[in-house]
Structure 1
Amino acid sequence: MLCDEKRCKMPEFQACLNDLPHSDFNVIFKSIPSFYQNFKAKDGANCFVSGIPGSFYERLFPSKSLHLVHSSYNIYWHSRLLMNHINFFQLRTSPPQVSDAYLKQFEKDFSRFLQIRSEEIVVDTCF
């Protein structure tokens, strides 16, 4: 392991999970004890997991507090369409205005997501 090779202490990790407030974190939280056990047994490292309710199109974390941001699924949902509970599907047979609307909303949402996360991420110039 790299920490052993470099003779340095294993870092502690913090994972902050995020979802909308009406979502149920209980399923995920029930799996955390076994995750902790497996994580610690594998590398001897500590990991701390928390759940943050809120939209990822708004600030979720303090300024310059995140070292890594990863979105594995919901970033493609459109904020405006989702908030209005509109079912939005793009098919090969969809008219061009559907594709245009999809692209414009994605550009707006993704730009907002990146702008918000840029305020929260730590800028480290020492590599």
Structure 2
Amino acid sequence: MGNIGEAYPMKSGDGLHSYSNNSYFQRDIINAAMQIVGEAIVKIVDILKISPSTTIRVADLGCSVGPNTFFAMENILEAIELKCQNQGLDSQIPEFQVFFNDQTSNDFNSLFSSLPPNGRYHSAGVPGSFYSRLFPNHSLHIVHSSFSIQWLSRVPKKVVDRSSPAWNKGRIYYASAADEVVEAYSAQCAEDMARFLQARAQEIADGGLMILIFPARLDGIPHSQFSNNIMFDMLGCCLMDMAQKARNMVVRWSIHIQGFS
């Protein structure tokens, strides 16, 4: 991501194959987590000692092009407002500033052109990799990231090195791969998470909150039997078959053309 590794942003726009029209599962997960997120936010409102002069700064890391990020931010803001109202502090509801972060190649034009009208917050775009520093020290009260940090900063070098025991033979995933491949991905994940947490530790204010939503598998379930892994492994096989068919067509056309020369 960004200048840390490789960047592959989600497909922008509102077409048939766009992210905005093919991310309902991610949206359902955000909504399913809403109660847990609300309970966590209620606990930090008192810690932050919110007053009318307070500006609550929220960052969504890996926001893509919407609309899921807008739903997530609305959930967070509503939880804070409800907490203030329940305490009879309607006059002390703070102002909000929301930072939308994604890779520098993300389509921020599409994102901001679809911002909800009459938004209750001041918005800003922050391009860059969330595996590095993005904000000043102790400047954020809430950091949110949903279905983003499972994407590594780069393909592990070992899995594309034909001389390495971890070479993944051109496949895009590790569900049916050798242990060396899995270990290479695991090592890259550990490296990325260390960067991510070190950066956020400096950016989040005292008493702040970090909300991370990402897929995981239960202990004891082999990675080869995890549903997400199976899905990506099948997708990888399809891509490999398509690539092989394309190569075969190029070879046939080359032979055909040579026959006329």
- Give the TM-score range, shorter chain: 0.7 to 0.9
* 1-structure distance, mates of 2:181, 2:103: 26
Q: Counterpart of 1:10? A: 93
For structure 1, which segment, 70-79 or 96-105, has the greater mean C-alpha deviation from structure 2 after superposition?
70-79
Look up the SS of the partner of 1:69 in the other structure.
strand
Under a length normalisation based on structure 2, what TM-score does the superposition of the two structures give?
A: 0.40
Match of 1:54? 128
Q: Which residue of 2 aligns with 1:21?
A: 104
Contact 1:90–1:98, Cα closer than 8 Å, also in 2: no
RMSD: 2.3
Aligned AA for 1:6? Answer: Q
1:88–1:6 distance in 2 versus 1, CA, 3 Å: farther
Alignment match, 2:193: 110
Which residue matches 1:31? 114
Distance change (3 Å), C-alpha of 1:10 and 1:89: same
Partner Cα separation in structure 2 for residue 91 and residue 58 of structure 1 = 26
Paired residues of 1:66 and 1:121 also in contact (CA < 8 A) = yes
Instruction: Tell me the alpha carbon deviations over residues 14-56 of structure 1, each in whole angstroms, 9 at most, x when there is no partner.
Output: 21111111221112101214261xxxxxxxxx31221101111
The sequence identity of aligned pairs, in percent, is 41
Question: Could you tell me which residue of structure 1 aligns to residue 150 of structure 2?
Answer: 76
- Deviation (angstroms), 1:100: 0.5
Q: Secondary structure at the match of 1:50?
A: strand
SS at 2:145 equivalent: coil
Deviation at 1:78, TM superposition (A): 1.8
Higher relative contact order (CA 8 A, sep 6+): 1
